[in-house]
Amino acid sequence: MTDSKREHITCKIEHETERAWLIDDGSGKTTWIPKSQGEIYDRMNDGLVDLFVEEWILKEKGLI
């Protein structure tokens, strides 16, 4: 990996394992994000979370 830039995404965590989050980005699409590639910045009362995730993985998953 040559790019270590992180991007912000607001989403809902549908399922969580020891190594990854299954997120819903609000478009009806769910995708797995490895925990090693991001971090939860904030948890909101409505069930949404703010994640900072490596830009390359968001591009790879079609989220940006």
C-alpha 49/C-alpha 27 separation (Å) is 15
* Tokens 């904030």, located at residue: 42
With CA atoms as reference, report the closest residue to 12 among 64, 59, 51, 41. Answer: 51
Domains identified in the chain and CATH numbers: 6-60 (2.30.30)
User: To which H or E segment does residue 52 belong?
Assistant: strand 48-54
Instruction: Report pLDDT digits (tens) over 22-50.
Output: 999 888 889 999 999 999 999 998 889 99
Mean per-residue pLDDT over the chain, rounded = 91
Do 24 and 32 touch, CB atoms closer than 8 A? Answer: no
| pTM listed for this prediction | 0.84
Give the distance, in angstroms, between the CA of residue 24 and the centroid of all CA atoms in the same chain: 9
Contact in structure between 14 and 22 (CB atoms under 8 Å): yes
